Amino acid sequence: MKLHSILLTSVAVLGLSGFGFGTNEAKAASADLDQSKESAIVFSGVDLQSIKENQLKMGSNEETANQLIEKYKNGGMADADLLNLEDAVSSDTIVEGDTITTTYVFPDGSRAQTEVVELEQLGEITPFGISGGSCQTTSVGTECKSVKVSNTLAAYGMSYYVNYYINRYGSDSISWTGNFNIWMAGGNYANPSLRTLTPVNTSWDQEARLSAQLNVGGDIGSITRSLSFFVGNNKTDWGWNSYY
């Protein structure tokens, strides 16, 4: 099984983190933060408990999880919320049936987790970034509907759904995007936008992109994040970026 070959997808990024990356290159946004600081956001007890439970589910111990909670209480954020997956100090992969789960551990002990589910389409395997939905393949291409694109971190996350078509003999396309969701624990967001774009100077035929400005407060302030889904050359991919 080759996870970094030419392909289509089924994946979710879970937990207190999980800056996503595409199969061909890392696309996670790290520390290019808007320096316009906002007043510190106070996370509710429910928010903090949810963060802790996510970390414990991903294999963290009580001591480390509690240290991360204190970080949030003091206006900070976990490394897993801010760093690229490539910045993890270690990772562990478990294969169960057609699901591949990788847990990443960051310098402060925080964790991110990706789940990759294989989908056989056009005789190839799918990469990181998307999950669910249903696909039908014919001799000329593959049509997929209600595929979820998501990235969930400790303090915030984004998701939406797409329908797309992979054309064996022509350009690939995105026919629909919708049902977007932006979740924030204790913060707020502004200017959400979900649209379909035609990239220039790339190998992709079309891109779906959900963007928003996120106020995470504390020492971080306001940041911009975008969750993208790409189709082109009989493959799909996704990106997590710091531009709008």
CATH code of the domain occupying 11-241: 2.60.40.3860
- Measure the CA–CA gap between 61 and 55, rounded to whole angstroms: 8
- Alpha-carbon distances, residue 30 vs 81, 131, 161 (angstroms): 9, 24, 25
Residue 105 has a pLDDT of 92
Residue 210 has a pLDDT of 97
Residue 80 has a pLDDT of 83
**pLDDT, tens digit only, all 244 positions of the chain:** 222 222 333 444 444 433 333 333 333 343 344 434 444 567 788 888 888 888 898 899 999 999 999 998 888 888 888 887 788 899 998 888 766 678 889 999 998 876 655 444 433 334 334 555 678 888 898 898 888 888 777 677 888 999 999 999 999 999 999 999 998 877 789 999 999 999 988 899 999 999 999 887 666 778 898 989 999 999 888 788 888 9
Residue 133 has a pLDDT of 65
- Measure the CA–CA gap between 145 and 172, rounded to whole angstroms: 14
Interior/surface letters 6-29, b for 16+ CB within 10 angstroms, e for the rest: ebbbbbbbbbbbbbbbbbeeebbb
Residue 127 has a pLDDT of 36
Residue 115 has a pLDDT of 61
Residue 37 has a pLDDT of 44
Task: Give the tokens for residue 54.
Answer: 């996510």
Residue 111 has a pLDDT of 87
